[in-house]
Amino acid sequence: MSVTAPQGFEAAGVAVGLKSTGNPDVAVVVNRGPLKVGAAVFTSNRAKANPIIWSQQVVADRTVEAIVLNSGGANCFTGSFGFQTTHQTAEKAAELLDVSASDILVCSTGLIGTGDEAFRAKVLTGTEQAIAELNADGGAAASEAIMTTDSVSKISTYQRDGWTIGAMAKGAGMLAPGLATMLVVITTDAVLTPVEADEHLRAATRVSFDRLDSDGCMSTNDQVSLLVSGASGVEPEAEAFRLGLIDVCTNLAVQLQADAEGASHDITIQVIHAASEDDAVEVGRSVARNNLFKAAIFGNDPNWGRVLAAIGTTRAEFDPYDVDVEINGVRVCTEGGPDRPREDVDLTPRATNVTIDLRVGEEAATIYTNDLTHDYVHENSAYSS
């Protein structure tokens, strides 16, 4: 049920021809209340798509009635025409829902730099059709409508003590941190204040989507939105809700990692015994973005020297000659030197786990990435053709 698992939400996904596949390409999620609380985090890319510029204004007062999403076109670098398209999309939804356009979030995903009258007409038609088809079981269709190069839709739910969280996500490429990664819509029927919703969302994205670094490329359209209906009437304990939200966000991040374009290995990099959490993140990310390391994993080569070379470029506190590296349960490096033979490491499974022990403190962090494959290069070389 995805985003319609919590009480107080309806959704729909429809096909209007934005995608050549004929699959659903416009989704609408509506919060029926009684609360209409909204929070969102956005890409930190200075190059922002028109829906991001619009939605940043909408969420400022923490009131959100609905969100309209389209795939098949990013509506980015499309000038004033593109911003007018986003504005008209919100106005169309507001008119049909009898609410204010300033309370409608808008998201788009697809190819950058394209958009014309036909695109606008299809988005507006899709918005109208989706609102006409809104229902409490529409979460699955909505999650399919936001897919682009995704091979599967991504959904997650969490239930506890009378309240529920539901979510959907899209993303298979351009997965790199910037407060958010890809498009995500999260709903909950818990009772939260606007401040609580914003704080919980930022805390959850910080340790989930912000730690997903599949290819080091940051999108112009990334947005994670949280809509709060309060329909359960339950005010959850803060820590319990935050842990539930982290669970949902991490689950979606791992699903996105598993569907990364052309990847053959899902690499989980755990950095332990760091002097600070920031150090652990910096070290893990340096490995996740190292193309030599990622190519080695693609070739089933446990080349731990590339790990040490990568972390040596960071400003983190550690002694490079006192670091341990473990790959898929085999410690191949200890104190900056060889340990067990490389041939002891089995890299044939898709799941690949790398543990880096900095041996200087008590902090840790986990980064999620993928290998660098021929298929990734092929898919992205032909993306717009």
What domains appear along the chain, each with residue ranges and CATH number? Answer: 2-258 (3.60.70.12), 266-381 (3.10.20.340)
Beta strands per DSSP E along 78-130: 104-109
Annotated active-site residue 193? The verdict is no
- Mean pLDDT of all residues in 114-138: 95
222, 286, 236, 265: which is closest to 376 by C-alpha?
Answer: 265
- Mean pLDDT of all residues in 113-122: 92
- The answer to whether the peptide bond before residue 177 is cis (omega within 30 degrees of 0) is no
Flag the least confident range among 41-50, 195-204, 322-331.
41-50
> β-strands 26-31, 9-14: how paired?
antiparallel
How far apart CA 83 and CA 86 sit, in angstroms, is 5
- The answer to whether the CB of 341 falls within 8 A of the CB of 262 is no
Residue 381 has pLDDT above 80, yes or no: no
Catalytic residue among 181, 250, 366, 369: 181
Residue 64 has pLDDT above 80, yes or no: yes
Q: For residue 150, what pLDDT band results from cuts at 50, 70 and 90? A: confident
Q: What is the pLDDT of residue 215?
A: 73
Residue 80 has pLDDT above 60, yes or no: yes
